[in-house]
Structure 1
């Protein structure tokens, strides 16, 4: 299979193709669930289209805790089915689907009581490990083990001596979420899906009460396209209800449609989770840590030279495009993490923040006040004939969600055409292990440290060959980015020519993580990145300057929002930043 390249020209071809024929399946939403749905349907031999209103993974799927995990929190809620499902998917991702993108990571669970906690939590971790065993699926991580206080200090020297009397070490996995989604989109496209970002679904097409497609606006050109499909699937996360309310939605189901509560649509509750990022040398540790708080579970996650700390869990009822961290959120995380650190963190140590919205499936009859108590289960429903929606779930279980929603859309047809994605590798998985063994030779050829090659392999896997081809053609692309030396210039060019990046923010926030890895949020590298992107995209000087100005406005607004005491004032400050990307409107991916 030839790896598809997502470029400006391939996008134009995709937009033309979207209006030229009827597809078997049209997916609305380019997050991890939508991307997984497109791959699931395409790998069944169906003709597939996918549209995303903004950049791929620009919503929840680039703003998560970056963990592939079963969820100890859900084990505490006795949600064994969800935990088992997630742990099985963790094993598949680590060993078969995306071993280049998903890595094992150890975590410490500290005890503050010598006897009952060791027995209670130990039994829970034993169950957690036990649930991870599934026929034909390798776990991909070691089993948990108990630790003395001295052993914990060796693994995490930064922990205060009075913060724990002992603990456990267990393993989960981490992932660069936005990169995962970009690769998933490319994989679906390589298997025949027609995919286009910045295509906003604005209206449903119908025929006698049956949804037959959507009208979509190309937000880059202003062109309007009618996209027709036998089955339309909504995978829009926190925008699920807004998607159902697009113009053209049938007023009532036809006589043959179910009228059960789930078939009338799904209700989704948005829960905000924020994360802070601190430099790697600010915390001394060789493992992550998990802490229970009164409101949520707190993770301290080792992350490529940094530490990611999160998360919060608070209700969000404001516009969904740009959730932001406020001062109260940041102080909450600092207060709880400082309870276990020898050298407390301050606001000055925080070099970046990011915020996302969890799409929590809301039972129609629930009166729950806390989003922390709402289930992470997912549900596929049929709000109208021809339209299937998927909501709830979590990043780790995206593949199961995709399989379920395609099955729901196809109905009886699915029995003779089942999903095959359980062991279908993503792009970059093939050749990854070989290139890992060749990394010394690659480093020598290009004059790099081994760490540079490891960085590339963990971002691109076997697709590192495409990066090296760019550098062979233009050796200057093998140079580090000024102001962001952890990345190569070639990675920026590759983001445009192979990964569908169209705007400066796409590279700074999702193809790289400079928007929260650098104290200046990537501004030091923005000129060079804009030059490299402009060369491929044909930007004029004015377009280049507009891109930089829009990104700078975003950085300024988010920094100012972080000083505000609550969500309302922080969101109002963030909304002042004008941007090139479309504002939140009627749609939603």
Structure 2
């Protein structure tokens, strides 16, 4: 692989190369995990590949998920065996080979509430889940489930009310920092030669007759517009699928419907438990997920027809989640316990049901007009398959022979040498002067790329200091986010390269001026621009807090829209 850094210079070079290339094989629109997966799939087949994203990598759905890599236990009850089998296969690949440095095992307790019939019913389902996880000869890489008595279940989760369960089944899945993983997929594609640029918007599709032959794009950082020509364009824009399809003057073969999922973040010490929880609700399931020094509680599942870029959590959403989890807790949570809140939109295929929790999570790939491939639906865990299927469809529209997908065999950057690097954690701590707990933190975010981070600290020891208000993260991580991970704005670092915006009590406000100064040195910001970045971030936090006090979606959306984006997104046009 080539240099993996996504630096300001590499972004400029990528944009220049896109605009001067006579014709690329594939142009991918959308920098979420599916677009990233398609970019990696295409470039590792030997295709000249570019990917553009209007905002930041993973700034939409792919940074606001439940952060689980799982088969979807509830889909077994819906008899969606194909989706579960496919997702469990991908879980095995991700945990064992593709991204072992980014993905961690996580255990869940499924409380039983009925005596007699429920234990064999749930046990059979979880046994099937475990069995499907080993189908096809792949290793699960995770322990098998176990049955627990009521007494033993309460030892595992003392936070639960004794009258809320009669026993439990405990099983294992996996979790991931979704935004970091998506960015790492893009970075791996760049390492193989893909051209990648965030803050780059598709304004219109280029046409020759009925055929799409590329796109007119605008660099939102400079306002420069230029044409990118490609044999095939892949639309991987998630909840924006219908909007992007309109650029091709086609209604499309299918439509995407947005379902809002809200999650709460609370301190780890507010729930005494050694395990995550999965609870049944009237319409779906509720997860309580261990997340470092926090718990993530989610999710809701409601239709959303308002602003797609900034879905807002209302007081109703927060109260619903608190009510659901408090129904089983011996010491209920209150609004005062909530550190962070985030809302994301799932791109669901419309038409199957009027209830979003019943809409399909399977994906569809279509070719609505020559030269344009659309991929939609799916779930985070199966992003690699979605990317592969989209590229397969693009290849069918090309008059040349292209190798089959090889992404099953390709580890992401940071995964190569992971086991050996992890085993050297004490030596790395001794050489760097950092506590071994800090090294563990960095290893779980950068894998074997930790050496690049430690080199920055060796050059400037002040970068080893923690960020104010969010001391899980070091100053060096803000610098590295700019020099190697494509961060362009303060929000990119505080909301996605780190998770300060949901993990800190003040949502990253204390860290904002420090991070902005560190970024300014790398991006050449003057004092005025640096101050503007901080002002925009503080306005975003204030707007989100205000929206979370509103009674419903409409008022929450209006409050959230009170804070403008640091980079305005112009309306789409057609050409």
Q: Shift in Å at residue 578 of structure 1?
A: 2.1
* Residues 130-169 of structure 1: CA deviation (Å, up to 9, x unaligned): 1111334211111111011111112111111111110111
Q: Shift in Å at residue 485 of structure 1?
A: 1.3
Aligned length: 572
Q: Does 1:13 pair with 2:13? A: yes
Q: Does 1:440 pair with 2:441? A: no
Tell whether the 8 Å contact from 1:3 to 1:186 is kept in structure 2 after alignment.
no
> Which residue of 505, 511, 514 maps to 1:528?
514
Q: How does 1:317-332 map to 2 (within 5 A)?
A: 317-332=305-320
Q: How does 1:482-493 map to 2 (within 5 A)?
A: 482-493=468-479
Paired residue for 1:131?
A: 132
Q: Structure 2 CA distance, aligned partners of 1:108 and 1:514?
A: 28
Q: Shift in Å at residue 542 of structure 1?
A: 0.5
SS of aligned partner of 1:183: helix
Q: Structure 2 CA distance, aligned partners of 1:444 and 1:342?
A: 43
Q: Does 1:59 pair with 2:60? A: yes
Q: How does 1:72-83 map to 2 (within 5 A)?
A: 72-83=73-84
Paired residue for 2:286?
A: 298
Q: Shift in Å at residue 583 of structure 1?
A: 3.8
Tell whether the 8 Å contact from 2:259 to 2:347 is kept in structure 1 after alignment.
yes
TM-score by length of 1: 0.95
Paired residue for 1:260?
A: none
SS of aligned partner of 1:19: helix
Tell whether the 8 Å contact from 2:371 to 2:397 is kept in structure 1 after alignment.
no
Q: Structure 1 CA distance, aligned partners of 2:81 and 2:217?
A: 41
Paired residue for 2:188?
A: 187
Paired residue for 1:506?
A: 492
Q: Taking structure 1 as reference, are residues 483 and 251 closer, same or farther at Cα in structure 2, changes over 3 Å only?
A: closer
Q: Shift in Å at residue 431 of structure 1?
A: 1.6
Q: Structure 1 CA distance, aligned partners of 2:530 and 2:168?
A: 52
Tell whether the 8 Å contact from 1:250 to 1:384 is kept in structure 2 after alignment.
no
Tell whether the 8 Å contact from 1:44 to 1:419 is kept in structure 2 after alignment.
yes
SS of aligned partner of 1:522: coil
Q: Taking structure 1 as reference, are residues 298 and 567 closer, same or farther at Cα in structure 2, changes over 3 Å only?
A: same
> Which residue of 238, 256, 263 maps to 1:275?
263
Q: Shift in Å at residue 412 of structure 1?
A: 7.5
Q: Does 1:519 pair with 2:520? A: no
Paired residue for 2:344?
A: 356
* Residues 231-284 of structure 1: CA deviation (Å, up to 9, x unaligned): 1000000010100112xx2569xxxxxxxxxxx432001000000000111111
Q: Structure 2 CA distance, aligned partners of 1:281 and 1:446?
A: 31
> Which residue of 535, 541, 548 maps to 1:562?
548
Q: Does 1:586 pair with 2:567? A: no
SS of aligned partner of 1:497: helix
Paired residue for 1:384?
A: 369
Paired residue for 2:383?
A: 398
Q: Taking structure 1 as reference, are residues 406 and 494 closer, same or farther at Cα in structure 2, changes over 3 Å only?
A: same
Tell whether the 8 Å contact from 1:72 to 1:128 is kept in structure 2 after alignment.
yes
Unpaired stretches in structure 2, ≥5 consecutive residues: none
Q: Does 1:213 pair with 2:211? A: no
Q: Structure 2 CA distance, aligned partners of 1:411 and 1:215?
A: 24
* Residues 87-129 of structure 1: CA deviation (Å, up to 9, x unaligned): 0000000000000001110000000012111011111101111
Q: Structure 1 CA distance, aligned partners of 2:385 and 2:565?
A: 35
Q: Structure 2 CA distance, aligned partners of 1:142 and 1:3?
A: 37
SS of aligned partner of 1:334: helix
Q: Shift in Å at residue 415 of structure 1?
A: 7.4
Q: Structure 1 CA distance, aligned partners of 2:321 and 2:296?
A: 11
Tell whether the 8 Å contact from 2:235 to 2:374 is kept in structure 1 after alignment.
yes
Q: Structure 2 CA distance, aligned partners of 1:241 and 1:544?
A: 36
Q: Structure 2 CA distance, aligned partners of 1:548 and 1:15?
A: 27
SS of aligned partner of 1:27: strand
Q: Shift in Å at residue 416 of structure 1?
A: 5.3
Q: Taking structure 1 as reference, are residues 556 and 251 closer, same or farther at Cα in structure 2, changes over 3 Å only?
A: closer
Tell whether the 8 Å contact from 1:377 to 1:393 is kept in structure 2 after alignment.
yes
**Displaced runs of 4 or more, over 6 A:** 412-415
Paired residue for 2:357?
A: 372
* Residues 522-558 of structure 1: CA deviation (Å, up to 9, x unaligned): 0011111011000101111000000000000010000
TM-score by length of 2: 0.98
* Residues 444-488 of structure 1: CA deviation (Å, up to 9, x unaligned): 223332221111001000000110111111111122122221111
Q: Shift in Å at residue 435 of structure 1?
A: 1.3
Tell whether the 8 Å contact from 2:232 to 2:397 is kept in structure 1 after alignment.
no
Paired residue for 2:176?
A: 175
Q: Structure 2 CA distance, aligned partners of 1:326 and 1:250?
A: 35
Root mean square deviation of aligned Cα: 1.5
Q: How does 1:84-123 map to 2 (within 5 A)?
A: 84-123=85-124
SS of aligned partner of 1:524: coil
Tell whether the 8 Å contact from 2:432 to 2:458 is kept in structure 1 after alignment.
no
Q: Structure 2 CA distance, aligned partners of 1:299 and 1:443?
A: 35
